[in-house]
A and B are shown apart, each in its own frame.
Chain A
Amino acid sequence: MQTKLIQHIYNRAGFGLSPDEWNARKQWSIDQAIDDLFSKAENATKLPDAEAITAVGNSMMSGEERAERRRAEARRVFQLGTDWTMRMGDPDAPALLERITLFWHGHFACESKLSVIATKQLQTLRQYGLGHFRDLLIGISKDPAMIRYLNNQQNKKDSPNENFARELMELFTIGRGHYTENDVKEAARAFTGWSSNLRGEFVFRRRIHDYGPKEFMGRQGNFDGTDIIDILLERRETAYFLTKKIYRYFVSDIPNEGRIRTLATEFYRSDYHIGQLLRRIFRSDWFYDSEIIGQKIKSPVELIAGLVRQLGLTGLDFRAVFGLQKALGQQLFKPPNVAGWPGGKQWIDNATLLLRLNIATAIFRGAELDFNLRPDLEQSQGRNLRGLQAQMVLAPIARILEDIPSESVYEELSQYLLSSPAPPPESYLIDLSLSREQIISRSCLQLMSLPEYQMC
Chain B
Amino acid sequence: MKRRSFIQTSGLASAAMLTPAFLRAGVRPAASSRQGKILVVIQLSGGNDGLNTIIPYGDDIYYSQRPTLSIPPAEVLTLNDYQGLHPALAPLRELYDLGQLAVLNGVGYPEPDRSHFRSMDIWQTGSGSRQNWSTGWLGRYLDHLPRNQHAYHAIEVDDGLSLAMKGAEQRGFAMGDPNRLRRAVRNPLLPESAHAQVHQQHTVSYLYETLTRTSEAADYLYEKSRIYRSRQPYPPGNFGRDLKQVAELITADTDTQVYYLSLTGFDTHARQLGMHQRLLDQYAKGVSAFVKDLKQNRLFEDVIIMTFSEFGRRLAQNGSGGTDHGTANNVTLIGGDLKRAGLLNAPSSLSHLDRGDLIFDVDFRRLYATLLNRWLDAPADQILMNNFEPLDFI
Contact = CB atoms under 8 A, between A and B. Distances in A.
A296 interface: yes
Given A350-B174, A350-B210, A377 B184 contact: no
A375 B264 contact: yes
A377 B46 contact: yes
B265 interface: yes
A301 B137 CA distance: 27
B26 to A, nearest CB: 26
A262 B130 CA distance: 33
B187 A374 contact: no
Interface of B: 45-47, 116-118, 120-121, 130, 132-134, 151, 158-161, 163, 166, 169, 171-174, 176, 180-181, 183-185, 187, 189-192, 195, 198-199, 202-204, 206-208, 210-211, 213-214, 217, 262, 264-265, 267, 269-270, 310, 320
A297 B180 contact: no
A345 B205 CA distance: 11
A149 B184 CA distance: 38
A253 B169 CA distance: 14
Nearest to A290: B202
**What are the 9 A-B residue pairs with the smallest beta carbon separation, nearest first?**
A380-B265, A451-B207, A377-B116, A423-B195, A339-B132, A351-B174, A449-B189, A342-B134, A350-B214
Contact of A372 (B159, B166, B189, B217): B159
B162 to A, nearest CB: 8
Given A350-B151, A350-B174, A380-B46, A357 B203 contact: no
B173 A350 contact: yes
A23 interface: no
Nearest to A365: B189
Contacts of A373: 159-160
B211 A449 contact: no
B136 to A, nearest CB: 11
Contacts of A375: 45, 264-265
A276 interface: no
A351 B132 contact: no
Contact of A445 (B117, B189, B195, B203): B189
Interface in A325-372: 327, 329, 336-339, 342, 345-346, 348-355, 357-358, 360-361, 370-372
Nearest to A162: B130
A348 B184 contact: no
A454 interface: yes
A171 B267 contact: no
A389 B326 CA distance: 42
A59 to B, nearest CB: 11
Contact of A339 (B134, B169, B204): B134
11 contacts: A111-B117, A295-B203, A336-B134, A336-B163, A354-B185, A370-B183, A372-B158, A377-B310, A423-B195, A449-B190, A455-B203
Given A63-B270, A377-B310, A350 B45 contact: no
Contacts of A372: 158-159, 176
A254 to B, nearest CB: 10
Contacts of A349: 161, 166, 171-174, 210
Nearest to B151: A350
Interface in A409-437: 420-421, 423
Contact of A353 (B187, B198, B211, B265): B211
A446 interface: yes
Contacts of A454: 204, 207
Interface of A: 63, 111, 166, 171, 253, 294-297, 327, 329, 336-339, 342, 345-346, 348-355, 357-358, 360-361, 370-382, 420-421, 423, 445-446, 449-452, 454-455
A378 B46 contact: yes
B214 to A, nearest CB: 4
B267 A377 contact: yes
Contacts of B185: 354
A423 B204 contact: no
B132 A337 contact: yes
Given A420-B204, A455-B204, A361 B161 contact: no
A454 B191 CA distance: 13
A380 B211 contact: no
A445 to B, nearest CB: 6
A15 to B, nearest CB: 19
A421 B172 CA distance: 30
A295 B159 contact: no
Contacts of A446: 189
B207 A351 contact: no
Given A327-B160, A375-B264, A420 B202 contact: yes
Given A349-B166, A377-B46, A378-B116, A357 B159 contact: no
Contacts of B120: 377
Contacts of A455: 203-204, 207
Nearest to A421: B198
Given A337-B118, A377-B46, A451 B171 contact: no
Nearest to B185: A354
Nearest to A371: B159
Residue among A337, A373, A420 with the most chain B CB within 10 A? A337
Contacts of A350: 151, 161, 171, 173-174, 210, 213-214, 217
Contact of B121 (A337, A345, A361, A420): A337
A141 B163 CA distance: 29
Given A337-B132, A420-B199, A354 B214 contact: yes
Residue among A253, A352, A373, A377 with the most chain B CB within 10 A? A377
Nearest to B279: A380
B11 to A, nearest CB: 35
Contacts of B130: 166
A345 B116 contact: no
A308 to B, nearest CB: 21
Nearest to B134: A342
Contacts of B310: 377
Contacts of B166: 346, 349
Contacts of B159: 327, 351, 371-374
A361 B46 contact: no
Contacts of A345: 169, 203, 206
Contacts of A374: 158-160, 262, 264
A345 B158 CA distance: 21
Contacts of A348: 171, 206-207, 210
A421 B205 CA distance: 12
Given A63-B269, A451-B204, 5 more contacts: A339-B134, A342-B134, A351-B159, A446-B189, A454-B207
Contacts of B211: 353-354, 357, 451
Nearest to B125: A337
A374 B161 CA distance: 10
A338 B310 CA distance: 18
A49 B350 CA distance: 49
A373 B160 CA distance: 7
B349 to A, nearest CB: 25
Contacts of A253: 203
A361 B310 CA distance: 38
Contacts of B204: 294, 420, 451-452, 454-455
Contacts of B132: 171, 337-339
Contacts of B116: 376-378
A423 B184 contact: no
A354 B199 CA distance: 20
Contacts of B173: 349-350
Contacts of B189: 360-361, 445-446, 449
A50 B320 CA distance: 33
Contacts of A353: 207, 210-211, 214
